Structures are given as C-alpha cells and as structure tokens.
A and B are shown apart, each in its own frame.
Chain A
C-alpha cells in the first residue's frame, strides 16, 4: 500500500533535516536544539481526473536555549528545504517511491520566545513551507 502523502512528506523532510528532526510530536527527553515539523494546512489537491496530487503547508522550526542557536537552526532548515523539490531550482530532496515532492517554497516566518516551565527562556524559529506533491504512477 502506498504511503499517505503527508507521511511521505514527513519522511523525506526528516531525512533532509537530520537526526534531530521530529515530525509532529517531540519525545519528552530530547535535548535542545532540535527541529520540529508539523502540519499547518492543506491536503488533497484536485488537479486532473486521473492524477493524485496534494498540497500542504508545513511548519518547520528549530527550538533552542539560545536565540543565536535557534536562528542558526532556522537558517539550516532553509538551506535544507527551500526550493528543494524535484521541479525546483535546487532539487536536493531524497526520492520517495510513492510520491514526488515537486515544489517546496519557503513562506511566512515565525518566531516565538517562550518561558519554558515558567523560568528558562527558550526560542522557536522557523518558517512555513508550501509543498506540492504528485503520486507516482
């Protein structure tokens, strides 16, 4: 059975971002800095009669104890993902057997400063990425 497009997307993005990247939930004992990616919108995309397509907005952020590390982590995310689809100007994502990730476009930036557990300041820095996918035939 073919992978769901969102699952394929998480697999490929996590591979591109390295071992500190976690789709959806981050385990409790993970040390910062780490990368979290999660669904922010989208789903199936009706393009043609016989072709399965999807488009998603995925939020990807680096969470770190220091501002500098969070921003540097965000820059590394950009370097790994922006314009990395197989139709993009700098294609570099791993190929998935079920879905082509055609375009990855960096969009809105977000930044959060959080008083973690009421005391320690931690920083979240990332972007939302617009992603288009097509099922391989």
Chain B
C-alpha cells in the first residue's frame, strides 16, 4: 500500500499533451443522477434508482510565453475530443481515465500585481467514457 501525494499526472486532450503546463489543481468528478421511486403503503424510507451518469473535469494550465501556440493547439472552446487523465502518469498498467469530453469553458486570469497567469479549463462529458478510474481501468 502507498498513498499518492504526487503531481506526476498525464493530461492529454485531442493531440495536445498538457501535463507539463499543468499547475495548481485538478478536479475529476463523476456523478450519478438519481430518481426518487419511493412507493408503497407504510413505506418509511426514501427509495431511489440511478438515472444517467455524468462526468466533468477541470484543471489549470499556466500560460507559457515561449510555447503558447503549442500549448493551446487543440484547446478550442466547444471542441469535443478525447481527454486522457492518469493520476500517476500514463505508463502501462497505471490507472486511466479516457473519455470523450467537451471543452465547455476557458477562463484566463491576469492581475496587476503580477500573479501566475493560468488558464482554467472545464470539460463536460460528451459520451460514455471508455476508461474510468473508479472502474479500475488502466493505460
């Protein structure tokens, strides 16, 4: 057993590998919708069934002033492409998320006091993922 504290992530959207530009934080989120199906005389507890499963991810990329064009090559707002995420890199056998995602939101923040300039990218599920972390899938 070993707890994971590392930042050696693999991030790729379309043909653009973003790992080297990743900064600050990443959020991976999958959720299942639920339907209240409570029924029956004298029932005492809510009953639910699972509806559709949805997923989203967001992460930050620092703005690189030397390789900016390469960095954002495939990162067009609204584009739908394959997003790969590996919390431990993308070596064979390491946990993987691979799925079709829509790049739904891009935000860039810059400040007068010269903070780190970074893109905030938000992705939404566009189709059922082919590999998920919680499903135990690997590269």
A binding-site residues for B, Cβ under 8 Å = 47-51, 87, 103, 105, 130, 132
Q: Does B19 lie at the interface of the complex (its beta carbon under 8 Å from any beta carbon of A)?
A: yes
A132 and B113 CA atoms in complex are apart in Å by: 12
Residues in A with CB closer than 8 Å to B19 are: 49
A103 and B65 CA atoms in complex are apart in Å by: 13
CB–CB B23/A48 < 8 A: yes
Residues in A with CB closer than 8 Å to B20 are: 48-51
Q: Does B3 lie at the interface of the complex (its beta carbon under 8 Å from any beta carbon of A)?
A: no
B61 to chain A, nearest CB (A): 9
A132 and B116 CA atoms in complex are apart in Å by: 10
CB–CB B22/A87 < 8 A: no
A50 and B21 CA atoms in complex are apart in Å by: 8
Q: Which of A48, A130, A132 has the most CB of B within 10 A?
A: A48
Residues in B with CB closer than 8 Å to A50 are: 20
A103 and B115 CA atoms in complex are apart in Å by: 10
Residues in A with CB closer than 8 Å to B23 are: 47-48
CB–CB B114/A103 < 8 A: yes
CB–CB A49/B62 < 8 A: no
B binding-site residues for A, Cβ under 8 Å = 7-9, 19-23, 62, 65, 113-114, 116
Residues in A with CB closer than 8 Å to B114 are: 103, 105, 130, 132
| A49 and B65 contact, Cβ closer than 8 Å, known pairs A103-B114, A105-B114, A132-B114 | no
CB–CB A48/B65 < 8 A: no
Question: Which of chain A's residues has its CB closest to B66's CB?
Answer: A137
CB–CB B116/A49 < 8 A: no
Shortest beta-carbon contacts, A-B, top 6: A50-B20, A103-B114, A48-B23, A47-B23, A49-B7, A105-B114
Residues in B with CB closer than 8 Å to A132 are: 114
B128 to chain A, nearest CB (A): 30
A5 to chain B, nearest CB (A): 16
A51 and B24 CA atoms in complex are apart in Å by: 13
CB–CB A47/B65 < 8 A: no
| A47 and B62 contact, Cβ closer than 8 Å, known pairs A103-B114, A132-B114 | yes
A132 and B23 CA atoms in complex are apart in Å by: 16
Contact for B22 among A48, A103, A105, A130, CB less than 8 A: A48
A132 and B114 CA atoms in complex are apart in Å by: 10
Question: Which of chain B's residues has its CB closest to A132's CB?
Answer: B114
Residues in B with CB closer than 8 Å to A130 are: 114
